[in-house]
């Protein structure tokens, strides 16, 4: 079997193993994919080249500064809490417990320490998420203040919220502390815009960021002019994905699921692209972008790997564009990535780095075992490294190398 088909088959097996015991779901397959692919291709063509980040982010008109920094790997997202006061049917996480603020599995109970972390890795953007940050407003405000006090004044900051606890007083405090943007999930409030309007004229940039729920597609089209009137500059649409936390809710819907690194809702992508097309056809003065799972899963991870590699790797290490460390001697090839820890792990040999009197740990983790190369393979590998392949390699070894280098840059196949 072709190496690429083997990889696709591995995704199918992985998905099925993870959802074993769940009710039967409708999966995209060779018999029902043709019409969906045709519809998607038609919508993508209408965008006339408005595709960013290896064509994983379709957009209309504009994207926010925060979204740009995210795609460039220059953004840190701090989860202020794990607790939420909403119950959105599509939420992919549990949202039940209040946790110490964390990012990338590192905990920051001290706001000053987080600001120093931002400096250490030279992030250009910072966001505050959850859970719901407004459940712990003073905590959120303190972390924002410390970032503004100790970090580059040019850093772009934004906050995610469902808006339930939002009021003008909070927005004025956040604006005074230097918040550049607020992003509302109006799906948590029955798509009402009253709390969104409160931020208009106070927070410089107001965004709505929600999953593209297929059955809400027409409502969102109708709401676009009202969003503009409410001061919204950008609408960010995410792709619904299936997890153990939202399975019971999503399985009740008539959705079709796509085999990928995680199961995705086909109709969610099509709904997002239709809303993009609607805004384009009506020449609406708002930016709309579709934040696909492929973008989130690849560019965000690749960006963070690159940050770690350039900060913590050895001077002689060779980095790929996705933040992997390539170990190519001519006779062999292998890949590693930097992994960081909040506490010293017992089973691994690690190195240390300190941020604001706190010690963190890191190691180079093997992601592709070192493989010996004969002269013929060496020539092929050198050619592959020197240029992106025009077609997917059929050779299993070369496919593994290519997969690390290019799968994360946005290849998409149904």
pLDDT digits (tens, 9 = 90+) for 355-376: 888 899 999 999 999 999 999 9
Q: Is 396's pLDDT higher than 50?
A: yes
pLDDT at residue 413, rounded to an integer: 38
Is residue 414 assigned to a domain? no
**How many separate domains does the chain show?**
2
Confidence band (pLDDT; 50, 70, 90) for 105? confident
CA 325/CA 28 separation, integer angstroms: 35
pLDDT at residue 178, rounded to an integer: 98
Boundaries of domain holding 170: 3-302
Q: Where are the alpha helices (DSSP H) in 156-281?
A: 168-176, 194-199, 217-229, 247-250, 266-281
pLDDT in tens, 231-241: 999 999 999 99
| Residues 358 and 219 occupy one common structural domain | no
- Cα distances from 277 to residues 183, 211, 272, 274, 282, in angstroms, run 22, 17, 9, 5, 9
Is residue 15 assigned to a domain? yes
| Residues 292 and 177 occupy one common structural domain | yes
Last residue of one domain, picked from the residues 265, 285, 302: 302
CA 330/CA 92 separation, integer angstroms: 44
Confidence band (pLDDT; 50, 70, 90) for 412? very low
CB 84 within 8 A of CB 130: yes
| Residues 316 and 249 occupy one common structural domain | no
For residue 104, the 8-state DSSP code is T
Instruction: Find the length of the chain.
Output: 414
Dihedral sign computed on CA atoms, order 79, 84, 90, 94:
positive
Structure tokens at 140: 């959120």
Last residue of one domain, picked from the residues 302, 335, 369: 302
CB 86 within 8 A of CB 132: yes
> Which residue's structure tokens are 């790929």?
320
| Residues 261 and 333 occupy one common structural domain | no
Question: What is the percent of the chain with per-residue pLDDT over 70, rounded to a whole number?
Answer: 96
pLDDT at residue 409, rounded to an integer: 54
Spatial CA neighbour of 244 closest among 36, 403, 410, 22? 22
Lowest-confidence region among 94-98, 136-140, 220-224, 291-295: 291-295
Most confidently predicted of 52-61, 203-212, 243-252, 339-348 = 203-212
Spatial CA neighbour of 99 closest among 131, 127, 77, 75? 131
CB 189 within 8 A of CB 162: yes
Q: In the predicted model, what is the mean pLDDT of residues 8-32? A: 78
| Residues 101 and 137 occupy one common structural domain | yes
In 3-state terms, what secondary structure has residue 157? Answer: strand
CA 63/CA 195 separation, integer angstroms: 22
What strands, in cross-sheet order, belong to the sheet with 318-319? 318-319, 325-328, 332-341, 358-372, 351-355
| Residues 282 and 361 occupy one common structural domain | no
pLDDT at residue 407, rounded to an integer: 55
Q: Is 136's pLDDT higher than 60?
A: yes
The partner residues of 353 in beta bridges, in order of sequence, read 360
Q: In the predicted model, what is the mean pLDDT of residues 259-267? A: 88
CA 279/CA 277 separation, integer angstroms: 5
> Which residue's structure tokens are 């549990």?
94
CATH number at residue 112: 3.20.20.70
- Cα distances from 261 to residues 9, 221, 225, 307, 310, in angstroms, run 11, 30, 36, 23, 26
Cis peptide before 107 (omega within 30 of 0): no
CA 39/CA 26 separation, integer angstroms: 19
Arithmetic mean of pLDDT over the chain: 90
pLDDT at residue 414, rounded to an integer: 29
Query: What is the H or E stretch that residue 57 is in?
Result: strand 57-60
Confidence band (pLDDT; 50, 70, 90) for 411? very low
| Residues 185 and 331 occupy one common structural domain | no
CB 332 within 8 A of CB 370: yes
Spatial CA neighbour of 342 closest among 350, 332, 331? 350
pLDDT in tens, 140-195: 999 999 999 999 999 999 999 999 999 999 999 999 999 999 999 999 999 999 99
Structure tokens at 8: 């696709």
Is residue 62 assigned to a domain? yes
pLDDT in tens, 23-66: 678 888 877 788 899 999 999 999 877 888 877 889 999 999 99
CA dihedral of residues 34, 36, 39, 42 (deg, nearest 10): -70
pLDDT at residue 347, rounded to an integer: 87
| Residues 229 and 344 occupy one common structural domain | no
| Residues 51 and 7 occupy one common structural domain | yes
| Residues 274 and 294 occupy one common structural domain | yes
pLDDT in tens, 108-126: 999 999 999 999 999 999 9
| Residues 278 and 322 occupy one common structural domain | no
CA 201/CA 57 separation, integer angstroms: 29
pLDDT at residue 21, rounded to an integer: 66
CB 262 within 8 A of CB 238: no
Q: What are phi and psi of 168, to 5 degrees?
A: -65, -40
- Cα distances from 285 to residues 57, 221, 233, 275, in angstroms, run 19, 13, 8, 14
| Residues 262 and 313 occupy one common structural domain | no
Last residue of one domain, picked from the residues 286, 302, 318: 302
For residue 362, the 8-state DSSP code is E
Q: In the predicted model, what is the mean pLDDT of residues 266-288? A: 96
pLDDT at residue 399, rounded to an integer: 79
pTM for this structure?
0.91
């Amino acid at each position: 079997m072709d190496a690429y088909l083997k990889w696709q088959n591995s995704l199918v097996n992985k998905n099925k193993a993870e959802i074993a015991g769940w009710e039967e779901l409708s999966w995209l397959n060779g018999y029902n994919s043709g019409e969906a692919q045709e519809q998607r291709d038609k919508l993508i063509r209408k965008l006339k080249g408005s595709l960013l980040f290896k064509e994983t982010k379709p957009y209309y008109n504009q994207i926010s500064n925060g979204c740009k920094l995210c795609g460039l790997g220059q953004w840190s997202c701090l989860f202020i809490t794990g607790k939420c006061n909403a119950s959105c049917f599509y939420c992919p996480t549990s949202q039940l417990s209040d946790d110490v603020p964390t990012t990338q599995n590192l905990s920051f109970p001290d706001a000053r320490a987080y600001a120093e972390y931002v400096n250490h890795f030279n992030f250009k953007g910072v966001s505050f998420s959850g859970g719901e940050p407004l459940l712990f407003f003073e905590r959120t405000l303190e972390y924002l203040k410390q970032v503004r006090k100790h970090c580059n004044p040019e850093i772009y900051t934004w906050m995610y919220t469902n808006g339930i606890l939002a009021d003008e007083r909070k927005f004025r405090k956040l604006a005074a502390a230097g918040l550049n943007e607020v992003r509302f999930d109006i799906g948590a409030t029955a798509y009402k815009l009253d709390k969104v309007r409160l931020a208009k004229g106070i927070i410089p940039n107001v965004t709505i960021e929600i999953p593209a729920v297929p059955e809400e597609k027409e409502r969102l089209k109708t709401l676009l002019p009202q969003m503009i009137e409410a001061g919204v500059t950008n609408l960010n649409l995410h792709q619904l994905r299936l997890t153990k936390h939202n399975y019971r809710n999503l399985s009740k819907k008539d959705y079709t699921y796509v085999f990928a690194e995680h199961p995705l809702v086909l109709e969610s992508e099509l709904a997002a692209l239709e809303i993009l097309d609607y805004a384009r056809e009506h020449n609406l003065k708002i930016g709309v972008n579709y934040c696909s799972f492929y973008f989130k899963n690849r560019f965000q991870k690749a960006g963070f790997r690159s940050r770690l590699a350039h900060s913590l790797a050895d001077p002689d290490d060779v980095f790929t564009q996705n933040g992997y460390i390539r170990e190519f001697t001519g006779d062999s090839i292998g890949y590693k990535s930097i992994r960081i820890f909040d506490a010293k792990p017992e089973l691994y040999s690690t190195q240390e780095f300190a941020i604001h009197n706190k010690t963190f740990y890191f190691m180079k983790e093997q992601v592709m075992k070192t493989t010996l190369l004969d002269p013929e393979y060496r020539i092929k590998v050198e050619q592959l490294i020197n240029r992106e392949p025009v077609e997917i390699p059929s050779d299993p070894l070369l496919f593994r190398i290519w997969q690390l280098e290019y799968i994360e840059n946005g290849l998409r196949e149904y």
